[in-house]
């Protein structure tokens, strides 16, 4: 449709018809079935009202969405198609590793490819918009939703966020109506990643400086990449819930950041302003939200029941409604829905694409690239499948299909490759002998998860399970412990005060170690866990997060060395929860602690180190890499100059490996305190044993900018330090001076 036609359409619509476009309800309210991602009872709607709504969420499948669209269009006065939205977070039917794990790949290419597959599968299932990427900076692993972010670093999140937007929306020069393209949705605007105490939905108390510098950056990058939608966050910032924050939406998002797409609220977030205590009732909540610039009210009845009256009573200008509706119609038009309301929706294509060989291959590759090898004493890994030794795989994840993270539905466990299947395929016909034992369930008896899921202990003889495991360990040369938290201990509403693996599993590890200390531990998790009790008792430790459909194959690939581990931590691993928040880019203090342990009057704890267990960016390979000193193309930089920083990275081990070379900058002195280090570049190099390669990074003035003491976004002349190394602890550096600006 031409813009003019959209304008004519808008002009013809009644107030109620327009407001209908601004309402989104869950698909289960239209027809039977659907997936619930929030409370079911936040909306009551009549058949007449639902005939006018503009979009639905959480209903999938070509057959059902085709029918819903057909019937809906037939009944709508202007035959305006519905927008179908869904949380396609780390894959639709082929499940990729959770976003936090994708962050550990440090690879925009892989992340874009994974999002592309997710988009293609979602598009044929009838979906037009995914509620992704989540670009919240996350620095508190107690918060369950860290699993849905790519990590603690704004720069990395920005790079990976842009990659996701390209993957979903088809990339540069593509239009949303193109085949396999869906709209992305940046969330959660803003700063949802910093709830107090790591408690989901809690308020955010950070300064405007931190907010702008560390939280807005990734959202901004995705806006610039052309993402068509933004979701408001549940939390308040500066004591105002985001969906009511006019300054945030109209000034920051639209004016400063230049976003001109659709703003949708989070699930019932508009009505929740009443609980927040800033609206008397849902009528006032509706007024605050429309004034702030929320175009679509997701799963509350505030707009549905009150917007029209607010306009008629002169409290809200109809112009605001028109602007919002035009943005929604434009999105529908950009997706090509007026010409083809079914877009890519096709049962035949579902059969062809869902979890097809090509998609599975990518999922396997992405999963393997996301695993982080924390420790490998005595080169216990990789395991040798040609040996005559016995391996015991022990633990509740040894033969478990729940490897897909808490934002993957509809759940299809039969598609997941378990460790047992992956290892079975790898070892069949080889001389190595493999034995299996579960040892214990994932959860302790009575342990609660976000979905109120509990292990059923009535049929379980825990002692027998543990004894069998210990006996298996006795007969083995090497034990592979497959442990971790449950998928539903993470995700929305999945905050934890204790971030350890369940007690039973730790007990199992302790008992196994009494009879065999040749232990490789594979850890499943949706967050950084307290791991010291595990790393102390294991010779090798591999973090596999929630690896998805091809998890078992990818784990077998890495354990047996067919693929070398290359993942790097996208979030710091704390020693203990008491250190939280702990992140690599922390700020310098007046009383620095140089040793990590507290002696005298310096920054830190009496009873804990200030150092993490493993820093951001850390991850081993089966080989080792050496870094030469850094050379800089010049030592003085004028505003328009580019400095090239170069190192030679060499593989000094005895097998091939991929290194993620990381560039960090430090502003040695600023008008405000500057972070210890800031990640500003990443390059991956694959090197054969004995091979060396030059790796160069371009440093520009723009990379040095920050909010100065007067909140101007500038760079300040002075000394800068350039670090290049294998993780954020890198101490290999060179220095240059940024000259006075003319
Ligand atoms: C609430 C979550 O915060 C949001 O991320 C999600 O997209 C919506 N529910 C819809 O499921």
pLDDT digits (tens, 9 = 90+) for 356-388: 999 999 999 999 999 999 999 999 999 999 999
Residue 472 lies in a domain: yes
Q: Is the pLDDT of residue 739 over 80?
A: yes
**Res. 451 pLDDT band, cuts 50 70 90:** confident
Whether 614 is in a domain gets the answer no
pLDDT at position 112 is 98
pLDDT recorded at residue 455: 86
Average pLDDT of the segment spanning 630-634: 98
Note whether residue 391 is domain-resident. Answer: yes
Q: What is the pLDDT of residue 600?
A: 79
CATH (domain of 398)? 3.40.50.1700
Which runs of E-coded beta strand occur in 525-597?
A: 540-543
Assess if residue 417 is contained within a domain.
yes
Residues 338 and 191 in one domain: yes
Catalytic annotation present for 488: no
The reply to whether 329 falls in a domain is: yes
Q: Which of 285-289, 587-591, 689-693 has the lowest mean pLDDT?
A: 587-591
Q: Is the CB of 566 under 6 A from ligand 1?
A: no
Same domain, 90 and 134: yes
Distances in whole angstroms, Cα of residue 265 to Cα of each of 39, 187, 562, 618, 708: 15, 10, 46, 36, 32
Residue nearest to atom 7 of ligand 1 (CA): 131
Q: Is residue 468 domain-shared with residue 532, that is, in the same domain? A: yes
Spatial CA neighbour of 382 closest among 539, 625, 624, 558: 558
Cα 113 to chain center, whole Å? Answer: 15
Confidence of residue 597 (pLDDT cuts 50, 70, 90): confident
Does 187 contact ligand 1 (Cβ within 6 A)? Answer: yes
Mean pLDDT taken over the chain: 96
| pLDDT above 90 (res 232) | yes
pLDDT confidence bin for 129, thresholds 50/70/90: very high
Q: Which domain-ending residue is among 571, 589, 613?
A: 571
Mean pLDDT of all residues in 255-278: 98
pLDDT of amino acid 188: 98
Does 439 reside within a domain? yes
Question: 536-546, pLDDT tens digit by residue?
Answer: 999 999 999 99
Catalytic residue (choose from 153, 266, 295, 297): 266
Residues 70 and 204 in one domain: yes
35 CB less than 6 Å from ligand 1? no
State the pLDDT at residue 617: 99
Pair 300, 378 in one domain: no
Q: What would the pLDDT profile of 506-531 be if each residue is shown by its tens digit? A: 999 999 999 999 999 999 999 999 99
DSSP character string of 326-361: HHHHHHHHHTTTTT-TTTT--HHHHHHHTT-HHHHH
Domain of residue 644: give its range: 625-738
Is the same domain home to 254 and 140?
yes
496 and 398: one domain?
A: yes
Nearest alpha-carbon partner for 380 in 509, 560, 531: 560
pLDDT at 36: 84
Buried b (16+ CB within 10 A) or exposed e, 394-415: bbbbbbbbbbbbbbbbeeeeeb
The Å distance, Cα 352 to ligand 1 centre, comes to 29
Across the range 248-277, mean pLDDT stands at 98
Same-domain check for residues 107 and 189: yes
For residue 266 and ligand 1, the question of a CB distance below 6 A is answered with: yes
**What residues form DSSP beta bridges with 371?**
none
180 torsion bin: left (phi>0), alpha (psi -120 to 50), beta (else)? left
Cα–Cα distance, 365 to 350 (Å, whole number)? 22
Instruction: Note whether 563 and 680 are same-domain residues.
Output: no
pLDDT of 598 > 90? The answer is: no
Looking at the structure, tell me whether residues 561 and 672 fall in a common domain. no
User: For ligand 1, is residue 493 a contact (CB within 6 Å)?
Assistant: no
pLDDT of residue 636: 98
Does the pLDDT value for residue 47 go beyond 90?
no
**Does 48 map to a domain?**
no
**Ligand 1, atom nearest to 148 Cα:** 5
Q: Which residue out of 130, 234, 266 has the highest number of ligand 1 atoms within 8 Å of its CB and is therefore the one to mutate?
A: 266
| 449 compared with 327, residue with greater pLDDT | 327
**Number of domains within the chain:** 3
- CATH code of the domain in which 286 resides: 3.20.20.300
Same domain, 333 and 383: no
- Determine the Cα–Cα distance for residues 41 and 29; give it in Å rounded to an integer: 10
The answer on 158 and 25 residing in a single domain is: yes
State whether the beta carbon of 37 lies less than 6 angstroms from ligand 1. Answer: yes
Among 292-296, 324-328, 588-592, 704-708, where is mean pLDDT lowest? 588-592
What CATH number does residue 649 fall under? 2.60.40.10
Which residue, of 350, 383, 399, is where some domain finishes? 350
pLDDT tens digits, 379-420: 999 999 999 999 999 999 999 999 999 999 877 889 999 999
- Ligand 1 pocket check for 492: Cβ under 6 Å: yes
Decide if pLDDT at 310 tops 90: yes
Among 231, 233, 298, 490, which is best to mutate for testing ligand 1, by the most ligand atoms less than 8 A from CB? 231
pLDDT at position 547 is: 98
Residue 409: predicted pLDDT: 84
The CB of 192 under 6 Å from ligand 1? The reply is no
Which residue in this structure is represented by tokens 């998790």? 525
Report the alpha-carbon distance of residue 548 to residue 578 in Å, rounded.
Answer: 31
Q: Is the pLDDT of residue 477 over 90?
A: yes
Q: Whose CA is nearest to atom 11 of ligand 1?
A: 37
pLDDT band, very low/low/confident/very high, at 162 (cuts 50, 70, 90)? very high
Does the pLDDT at position 473 exceed 80?
yes
169-224 residue pLDDT tens: 999 889 999 999 999 999 999 999 999 999 999 999 999 999 999 999 999 999 99
Token pair for 605: 């704890």
Distance from residue 193's CA to the centre of ligand 1 (Å): 14
Quick check: is 593 in a domain?
no
- Domain boundary among the residues 318, 350, 382 is at 350
């Amino acid at each position: 449709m031409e813009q003019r036609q959209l304008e004519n359409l808008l002009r013809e619509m009644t107030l109620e018809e327009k407001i209908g476009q601004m309402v989104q309800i869950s698909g289960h309210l239209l027809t039977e079935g659907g997936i619930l991602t929030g409370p079911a009872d936040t909306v009551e709607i009549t058949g007449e009202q639902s005939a006018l709504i503009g979009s639905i969420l959480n209903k999938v499948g070509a057959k059902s969405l085709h029918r819903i669209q057909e019937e809906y269009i037939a009944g709508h006065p202007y035959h305006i198609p519905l927008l179908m939205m869904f949380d396609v977070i780390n894959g639709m039917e082929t499940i990729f590793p959770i976003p936090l794990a994708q962050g550990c790949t440090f690879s925009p290419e892989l992340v874009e490819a994974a999002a592309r597959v997710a988009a293609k599968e979602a598009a044929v299932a009838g979906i037009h918009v995914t509620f992704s990427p989540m670009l919240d900076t996350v620095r508190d692993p107690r918060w369950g939703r860290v699993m849905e972010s790519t990590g603690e670093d704004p720069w990395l999140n920005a790079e990976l966020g842009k990659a996701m937007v390209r993957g979903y929306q088809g990339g540069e020069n593509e239009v949303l109506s193109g085949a396999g393209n869906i709209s992305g949705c940046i969330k959660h605007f803003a700063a949802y990643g910093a709830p107090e105490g790591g408690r989901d939905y809690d308020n955010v108390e950070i300064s405007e400086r931190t907010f702008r510098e560390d939280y807005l950056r990734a959202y901004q990058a995705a806006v610039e990449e052309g993402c068509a939608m933004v979701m408001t966050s549940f939390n308040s910032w500066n004591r105002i819930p985001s969906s009511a924050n006019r300054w945030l939406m109209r000034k920051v998002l639209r004016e400063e950041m230049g976003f001109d797409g659709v703003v949708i609220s989070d699930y019932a977030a508009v009505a929740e302003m009443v609980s927040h205590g800033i609206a008397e009732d849902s009528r006032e909540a509706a007024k605050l939200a429309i004034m702030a610039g929320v175009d679509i009210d997701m799963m509350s009845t505030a707009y549905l029941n009150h917007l029209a009256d607010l306009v008629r009573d002169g409290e809200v200008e109809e112009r605001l409604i028109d602007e919002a509706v035009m943005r929604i119609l434009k999105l529908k038009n950009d997706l090509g829905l007026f010409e083809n309301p079914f877009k890519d929706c096709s049962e035949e294509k579902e059969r062809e694409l869902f979890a097809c060989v090509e998609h599975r291959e990518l999922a396997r590759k992405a999963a393997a690239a996301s695993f982080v090898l924390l420790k490998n004493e005595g080169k216990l890994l990789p395991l040798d499948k040609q040996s005559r030794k016995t391996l015991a795989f022990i633990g509740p994840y040894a033969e478990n299909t729940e490897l897909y993270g808490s934002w993957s539905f509809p759940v299809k466990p039969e598609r997941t490759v378990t460790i047992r299947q992956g290892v079975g395929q790898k070892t069949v016909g080889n001389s190595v002998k493999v034995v299996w034992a579960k040892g214990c369930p994932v959860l302790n008896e009575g342990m609660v998860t976000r979905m109120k899921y509990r292990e059923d202990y009535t049929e379980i003889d825990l002692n027998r399970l543990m004894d069998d495991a210990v006996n298996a360990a006795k007969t083995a040369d090497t034990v592979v412990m497959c442990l971790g938290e449950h998928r539903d201990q993470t995700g929305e509403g999945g905050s934890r005060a204790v971030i350890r693996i369940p007690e039973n599993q730790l007990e199992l590890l302790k008992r196994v170690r009494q009879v065999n200390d040749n232990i490789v531990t594979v850890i499943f998790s949706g967050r950084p866990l307290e791991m010291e009790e595990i790393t102390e008792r294991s010779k090798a430790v591999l973090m596999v997060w929630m690896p998805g459909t091809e998890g078992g194959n990818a784990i077998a690939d890495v354990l047996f060395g067919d693929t070398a581990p290359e993942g790097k931590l996208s979030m710091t691993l704390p020693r203990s929860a008491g250190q939280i928040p702990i992140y690599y880019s922390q700020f310098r203090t007046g009383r620095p602690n140089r040793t990590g342990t507290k002696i005298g009057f310096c920054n830190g704890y009496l009873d804990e180190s200030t150092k993490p267990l493993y820093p951001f960016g850390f991850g081993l390979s089966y080989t080792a890499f050496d870094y030469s000193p850094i050379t800089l193309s010049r030592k003085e930089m004028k505003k328009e100059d580019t400095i090239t920083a170069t190192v030679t990275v060499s593989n000094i081990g005895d097998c091939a490996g991929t290194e993620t070379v990381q560039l960090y900058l430090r502003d040695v002195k600023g008008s405000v305190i500057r972070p210890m280090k800031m990640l500003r570049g990443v390059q991956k190099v694959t090197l054969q044993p004995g091979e060396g390669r030059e790796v160069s990074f371009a440093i520009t003035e723009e990379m040095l900018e920050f909010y100065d003491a007067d909140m101007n976004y500038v760079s300040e002349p002075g000394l800068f330090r350039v670090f290049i190394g294998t993780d954020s602890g890198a101490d290999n550096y060179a220095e240059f001076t940024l000259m006075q600006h003319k």
